[in-house]
Amino acid sequence: MMKHAHAIPGIHHVTAIATDPQANVDFYTQVLGLRLVKRTVNFDDPGTYHLYFGDTTGRPGTIMTFFPWPGARRGRRGAGQATVTGFSIPADAVGYWSDRLQQLGVDHQPAMRRLDEEVLTVLDPDGLMLELVASGSEDGREPWLDGPIPPAHAIRGFSGVTLEERALAPTASLLTDVLGFSIAAASGSRTRFTAHDAGHASVVDVVERDDAPTGLVAAGTVHHVAWRVPDDDAQASWRARLADAGVDVTPVQDRCYFRSIYFREPGGVLFEIATDVPGFTVDEVPERLGEELRLPPWLEPHRERIVQTLPPLSSDVASRA
């Protein structure tokens, strides 16, 4: 594995596809206790929302984002997809979450042991597969303190993602030889990789299934996984490295809250490398994050038409609790 001056510390965000935006907001804020940190639109399709959920300020490594397309067909988990998104919870919080999910009637499976973790598998309203992961190592990240979950039990951010692949080797080669990940563990068909410093939000599990159906990216599936780098210089360095390795990588895209480049790993999963800067407080004060529709400068002249196209959306948890 070659060393890189700007090592990837882990996940920046995970983006998935939903259907009903209100059901999406209700689940991730009221059930999982994440904060709606940004309400904007899909810059490439401004007739639909782009919703961001995370910790108090939406720090990298906590951000789950959605394109909610009402009426979208249901996708299919399979090869060439990120099939599971894992959230980190405290080691003693599994019982709390099991009881909470049961009381709320949320589709979930009983807790199970895997490697050095206790895992609760949960489905969101669109069937997106999530895991609440309690590992043996303490996650000291501070959760959203004003949410509906007691801080002692609340989600800290991502633990990692699971990719499903028909063949392990090509994906493993990209992760280790190009992106700088290391193999941390293996069990059966699952191989665990960790990012550079094996810190928070750094786990990538690759599950090899040679008979897996091809995944269909639509409602209830992950669209892409974004890895984080600190700034534009680091991103430019990674873009050059990927191109030198023969990877087809896009030009830099301005997403207002970060800059992005995109590429596919050999199995087909869409990856992104996103900058930590400038962050979600670039156009809103921390206390008011997610309360109003924010548009990039090039869409602001079309605000009235865009607002008329979008369905109403309430993020007032108290009004619907």
Which pLDDT does position 58 carry in this prediction? 98
Q: Establish if 1 belongs to a structural domain.
A: no
Rounded CA-CA distance 313/29 in Å is 13
Give, in degrees to the nearest 5, the angle at Cα 270 between 212 and 254: 165
- The two tokens of residue 178 are 């190009």
pLDDT tens-place string over residues 133-173? 998 788 999 999 999 999 999 999 999 999 999 999 999 99
Q: How far is CA 252 from the centre of its chain?
A: 20
Q: Tell me how far apart the alpha carbons of residues 315 and 313 are, in angstroms, rounded to a whole number.
A: 7
Cα 80 from Cα 217, distance rounded (Å): 10
d(CA 148, CA 29): 8
Is pLDDT of 267 > 90? yes
User: Looking at the DSSP assignment, which residues form a beta bridge with residue 118?
Assistant: 113, 134
Average pLDDT over every residue of 277-288: 97
Can you give the pLDDT at residue 317?
47
Q: Which two tokens stand for residue 238?
A: 């990674």
* pLDDT confidence of residue 5: 59
Q: What is the DSSP letter of 199?
A: -
Q: Which two tokens stand for residue 218?
A: 């639509």
pLDDT tens digit string along 14-48? 999 999 999 999 999 999 999 999 999 999 999 99
SS3 164: strand
Tally of domains in the chain: 1
CA–CA separation, 268 and 221 (whole Å): 14
Report the CATH number that the domain containing residue 235 is assigned in CATH.
Answer: 3.10.180.10
Residue 57 forms part of a structural domain: yes
Q: Is residue 2 part of a domain?
A: no
Position 6 in a domain: no
Q: Which residues neighbour 52 within 8 Å (Cβ) at sequence distance 6 or greater?
A: 13, 36, 37, 38, 39, 40, 58, 63, 64, 65, 257, 280, 290
- From CA 17, how far away is CA 13, in angstroms rounded? 14
State residue 197's pLDDT score: 83
Please indicate, yes or no, if residue 4 is contained in any of the structural domains: no
Q: How far apart are CA 252 and CA 283, in angstroms?
A: 21
Rama region for 61: left / alpha / beta (φ>0; ψ in -120 to 50; rest): left
CA pair distance 49, 306, nearest whole angstrom: 10
* Measured distance CA(242)–CA(284) in Å, rounded: 34
- Give the number of residues written for the chain: 321
| Mean pLDDT, the chain, integer | 95
DSSP 28: I
66 and 30 Cβ atoms separated by less than 8 Å = no
Is the preceding peptide bond at 230 cis, omega within 30 degrees of 0? no
Give the domain range for residue 239.
11-320
User: ∠ CA(93), CA(21), CA(150), 5° rounding?
Assistant: 20
In this prediction the pTM is: 0.96
* Spatial distance between the Cα atoms of 306 and 28, rounded to a whole number of angstroms: 24
Contact 24, 68 (CB under 8 A): yes
61-116: pLDDT as tens digits:
999 999 999 999 999 999 999 999 999 999 999 999 999 999 999 999 999 999 98
Whole-angstrom CA distances from 26 to 33, 108, 157 are 9, 17, 18
Could you give the 3-state DSSP secondary structure of residue 302?
A: helix
Alpha-carbon distance of 178 to 184, in angstroms, equals 17
